[in-house]
């Protein structure tokens, strides 16, 4: 007989409901507006390390609501957040599922430091009081690794080092060539105003002091597409609506995306996403 039963128990369903309520209370207390954007859209990200799920001729299931949330901000929306499904192809494992729940929020007038402080407050709100320490990317992987390793090996070294961190850690000051959608640090443009939160070895959140320069963003998109071409990967077309929003004027802001399923896993003290998802990949 086919196993039709959900993978997680009722305890996990209750814990998820409580977590979602806690997240919404956190943002409500700060007057951050909850919004809902399209899960299915014409364009997708150009990031070399993320593979999107195409939905036939209808477009792509979104890997993140980032582009659409920034379009809302450019149109005059206040600080905002979204909790909802996101999708990434080929990501399966203890900490990965092709469909997952993402919390993403943007704060007007914040830089990366101010947003890190708010992320730390959110961890205290959900996981209980605890100190968030800070380590730079270079301190984590070592200058020698950055100078001698190719990008794939450097990514592996970074992941292994991050997964070994115990407690709550912010990894800051990424190399400029890993800026993605972040601006460069005003005090030293060798580094990006980007951070990652790691909790007990689990990479939980990724944040930027957002790039607002449309010309620089277009250049980075073009470099991404070229890197994907050289790697033999799908070459998505650039999202011109997003670039037009930047041209219209994205307000000064910082944003962060956080994996809700991973946060639930940490809150419950369990070891894999399969223990907190009713229907992980292969069981739905």
Could you read off the pLDDT of 23-39 as tens digits, one per residue?
999 999 999 999 999 99
What are phi and psi for residue 239, nearest 5 degrees?
-80, 95
CB distance 141 to 157 below 8 Å? yes
CB distance 85 to 225 below 8 Å? no
Using CA atoms, how far residue 247 sits from 33, 120, 212, 242, 266, in Å, is: 24, 32, 8, 9, 40
Name the residue among 177, 211, 172 with its Cα closest to residue 195.
Answer: 172
What is the predicted pLDDT for the residue at 23?
98
Domain that holds residue 203: 10-275
What is the predicted pLDDT for the residue at 91?
75
**Confidence bin at 142 (pLDDT 50/70/90):** very high
Structural domain contains residue 3: no
The tokens for 127 are: 């996981």
Structural domain contains residue 221: yes
Beta strands per DSSP E along 36-148: 40-41, 53-54, 60-61, 80-87, 99-108, 132-136
Higher pLDDT: 284 or 59? It is: 59
Name the residue among 138, 262, 257 with its Cα closest to residue 200.
Answer: 262
Structural domain contains residue 184: yes
> Measured between alpha carbons, how far apart are the two ends of the chain, in Å?
16
Structural domain contains residue 280: no
What is the predicted pLDDT for the residue at 36?
98
Structural domain contains residue 44: yes
Helix axes 260-268, 10-29, angle to 10 degrees: 120
Distance CA 209, CA 213 (A): 12
Name the residue among 24, 65, 6, 1 with its Cα closest to residue 283.
Answer: 6
Cross-sheet strand order for the sheet of 253-259: 33-34, 80-87, 99-108, 253-259, 202-209, 191-199, 168-175, 132-136
Distance CA 267, CA 264 (A): 5
User: Chain-wide mean pLDDT for the chain?
Assistant: 96
CB distance 177 to 210 below 8 Å? no
What's the residue count for the chain? Answer: 284
Distance CA 78, CA 69 (A): 11
Name the residue among 94, 72, 89, 55 with its Cα closest to residue 261.
Answer: 94
Using CA atoms, how far residue 1 sits from 5, 192, 277, in Å, is: 11, 53, 22
What is the predicted pLDDT for the residue at 152?
87
CB distance 61 to 40 below 8 Å? yes
Helix axes 112-127, 260-268, angle to 10 degrees: 40
Which range among 78-87, 131-140, 142-151, 159-168 shows the weakest confidence by mean pLDDT? Answer: 142-151
The domain tally of the chain equals 1
CATH, residue 35: 3.30.930.10
Structural domain contains residue 173: yes
With 90 as the cut, is the pLDDT of residue 60 above it?
Answer: yes
Measured over all CA atoms, what is the biggest interatomic distance in the chain, rounded to whole angstroms?
Answer: 63
What is the predicted pLDDT for the residue at 57?
85
What is the predicted pLDDT for the residue at 62?
97
Structural domain contains residue 281: no
With 90 as the cut, is the pLDDT of residue 56 above it?
Answer: no
Residues 100-112 have a mean pLDDT of: 98
Structural domain contains residue 109: yes
What is the predicted pLDDT for the residue at 84?
98
**Confidence bin at 221 (pLDDT 50/70/90):** very high
Residues 3-7 have a mean pLDDT of: 91
């Amino acid at each position: 007989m086919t196993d039709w039963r959900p993978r997680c128990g009722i305890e996990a369903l209750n814990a998820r409901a409580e977590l979602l309520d806690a997240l919404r209370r956190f943002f409500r207390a700060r007057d951050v507006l909850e919004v809902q954007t399209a899960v299915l859209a014409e364009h997708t990200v150009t990031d070399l390390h993320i593979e999107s799920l195409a939905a036939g001729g209808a477009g792509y299931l979104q890997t993140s609501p980032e582009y659409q949330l920034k379009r809302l901000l450019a149109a005059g929306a206040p600080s905002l957040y979204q909790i909802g499904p996101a999708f990434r192809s080929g990501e399966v494992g203890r900490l990965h599922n092709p469909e997952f729940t993402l919390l993403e929020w943007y704060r007007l007038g914040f830089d990366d430091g101010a947003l890190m402080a708010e992320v730390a407050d959110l961890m205290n709100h959900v996981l209980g009081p605890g100190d968030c320490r800070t380590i730079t990317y270079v301190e984590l992987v070592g200058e020698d690794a950055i100078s001698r390793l190719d990008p794939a090996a450097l990514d592996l070294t970074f992941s292994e080092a991050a997964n070994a961190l115990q407690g709550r850690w912010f990894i800051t000051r990424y190399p400029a060539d890993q800026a993605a959608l972040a601006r460069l640090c005003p005090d030293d443009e060798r580094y990006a105003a980007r951070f990652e939160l790691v909790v007990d070895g689990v990479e939980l959140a990724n944040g930027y002091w957002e790039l607002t320069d449309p010309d620089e963003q277009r250049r980075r998109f073009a470099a991404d597409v070229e890197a994907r071409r050289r790697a033999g990967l799908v070459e998505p077309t650039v999202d011109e609506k997003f670039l037009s929003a930047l041209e219209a004027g994205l307000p000064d802001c910082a944003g962060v995306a956080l994996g809700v399923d991973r946060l639930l896993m940490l809150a419950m003290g369990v070891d894999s996403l399969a223990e907190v998802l009713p229907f992980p990949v292969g069981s739905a």
